[in-house]
Chains A and B, each alone.
Chain A
Amino acid sequence: MIVDLSRANAPLRRVPSSAIYVVSAFWAAWLFYLAATGGLGVEPIEALEHRYGLLALQMLIAVLAITPLRQFTGLSLLRFRRALGVSAFGFVLAHFLVWAILDVGTWDAIAADIIKRPYVTLGMAGFILLIPLALTSNDYALRRLGAIRWRRLHQLGYLATLFAAVHFIWLVKGLQFEPLIYTAILLFLLSLRLRSRKSRAA
């Protein structure tokens, strides 16, 4: 353990995990309201698309950080992981819907963009990979699949998030740091996971 944060565990246990859903839904609706009423600036379509996309990426990374966080600090947020993951998916879905409906607008253009634009293709691949994860984020699916198969399936979360991070690098103009930072954090988390797997195998 690097720093001990385990004292926060007891009070956190009193927070219901459903709070994550409530806050996420409220946050998404609030951003939509702001965009519709001028609160996100003069070009709200792009602004809303970006806000949802960024929140989705941040939350996906947060989900992947929960296990290492417990290893290194003793802080256990495992109870919140499912709600955080499903909410992250909700933001991805909102991001996709804003893009498809409010931005691009026609079926032809949506299909053309997904096929022709590599960064959209990558985002789409990330989104599609997340669908089975969202659908199996419940006790019933966990029982049906069994813990081992379920865990293997959910390791796709790393790949989906990596796709999303590269999608972000690819879409900005010129060399910008923000997407590289997210990618670096993600690769760090991934390396921790691979290391712990190796040490378990040894």
Chain B
Amino acid sequence: MAHRWKNDLSIADATPYAAYMNRRQIMAGAAGLIGATALGLGRATAQELVPNSWDEITSYNNYYEFGTEKQDPRRNAGRLTTSPWTIEVDGLVDNPGTYDLAELIGGLEVEERIYRFRCVEAWSMVIPWNGIELADILTRVGVQEGANYVAFETVMRPDEMPGLRYPVLDWPYREGLRLDEAMHPLTIMATGIYGRPIPNQNGAPIRLVVPWKYGFKSIKSISRITLTRDEPFASWNRANPREYGFYSNVNPEVDHPRWSQATERRVGAGLFAGRQPTLMFNGYEAEVASLYAGMDLTAYY
């Protein structure tokens, strides 16, 4: 039942050219740094229009179970054993149980989805994922009457994840979606990038991708899926509810209390590229705005 959504993000759409061209006024003055600026711009223009490279996507990650620096996950994630992999499915489902990964997703259609990816820290990439619509998986396990939310948990293996020694968050990492968000055709469970198996630092062997939400909602290395009646625990939301809402939809008009969300730094654009404007719902407004009709997005951020 896949192909409910047609991938409309071609390479040329990665960033609208006009938005790129007028997004930035370079300040006069401070000559030392500016001198070199002219050199960088040409390079940035060309890069702006293509998905990020494999190297960019796999060397700049937030995956605190492997360390809080951006390079830590690539350095440390090699230790994670991803095969065999089981996922516990429980809560309000018809077929609860501990599934082998192949059993849970075998036979479901894997599609390529080129999505914008926007981190709450105001950087972004464009990533060519390979994945399965979450709706297909949920249909397979059978969602019961009364389920309103889907809760996810990242695997917790202190022997393989050095970052778990530090109480940065209340481990294991947990996230959640409203059922209609989870069933939306844009929401996928990714198993690959650029047609290759997804690397450990990006959330192997299977992770959530919700392209209209800040990146931390797209939980990695999932070992448990629970259908619940009530809004589930979400790690960042619980750690600091004022800064990280349960919804965390990308919204340039609602700032993070500590920084602006109006613009973003495009990873790979170089030292002199500056920021580009952030799009409402990360550019997926037409597809998902109706999910939040009537909701005050400044209250439900």
Interface residues of A (CB under 8 A from B): 35-36, 41-46, 48, 97-98, 100-107, 109, 112-113, 116-119, 170-177
Contact = CB atoms under 8 A, between A and B. Distances in A.
A174 B168 contact: yes
B274 A105 contact: yes
A74 to B, nearest CB: 37
Given A48-B271, A105-B25, A106-B27, A42 B59 contact: yes
Interface stretch (B141-149, B185-193, B260-268, B284-292): B260-268
8 contacts: A36-B36, A42-B268, A43-B268, A97-B32, A97-B33, A101-B34, A102-B274, A174-B64
Given A36-B36, A41-B71, A174-B239, A105 B59 contact: no
A102 B271 contact: yes
Contacts of A103: 265, 274-275
Interface string B119-142: 001010000000000000000000
A45 B27 contact: no
B167 to A, nearest CB: 6
Contact of A98 (B33, B39, B64): B33
Contacts of B59: 41-42
A36 B255 CA distance: 29
Contacts of B60: 41-43
Interface of B: 24-27, 30, 32-34, 36, 39-40, 52, 55-56, 59-60, 64, 68, 70-71, 121, 123, 166-169, 239-240, 255, 258-260, 262-263, 265, 267-268, 270-272, 274-275
Given A36-B40, A97-B30, A98-B33, A106 B25 contact: yes
A176 B26 CA distance: 34
B27 to A, nearest CB: 6
Contacts of B70: 41, 43
Contacts of B39: 36
A36 B271 contact: yes
A75 B68 CA distance: 36
B27 A101 contact: yes
9 closest Cβ contacts across the A-B interface?
A174-B168, A42-B56, A44-B271, A105-B274, A36-B271, A43-B267, A42-B60, A35-B271, A42-B268
Given A102-B271, A105-B274, A175-B168, 20 more contacts: A35-B271, A36-B270, A42-B52, A42-B267, A42-B268, A43-B265, A45-B271, A100-B27, A101-B27, A101-B34, A102-B272, A103-B274, A105-B24, A106-B25, A107-B27, A109-B260, A112-B260, A113-B259, A172-B68, A176-B166
Nearest to B58: A42
B35 to A, nearest CB: 11
B27 A46 contact: no
B173 to A, nearest CB: 11
A109 B277 CA distance: 13
A183 to B, nearest CB: 17
Contacts of A176: 68, 166, 168
A1 B128 CA distance: 62
A39 to B, nearest CB: 11
A41 B184 CA distance: 35
A56 B272 CA distance: 22
Contacts of A41: 59-60, 70-71
Contacts of B71: 41
B2 to A, nearest CB: 31
Contacts of A109: 260, 262-263
A51 B25 CA distance: 25
A46 B265 contact: yes
Given A36-B40, A105-B24, A170 B168 contact: no
A50 to B, nearest CB: 10
Task: Give the one of B24, B239, B275 with max A CB within 10 A.
Answer: B275
Contacts of B26: 101, 105
A100 B263 CA distance: 14
Contacts of B55: 42
Which of B55, B59, B272 has the most chain A CB atoms closer than 10 A to its own CB?
A: B272
A153 B55 CA distance: 49
A105 B24 CA distance: 7
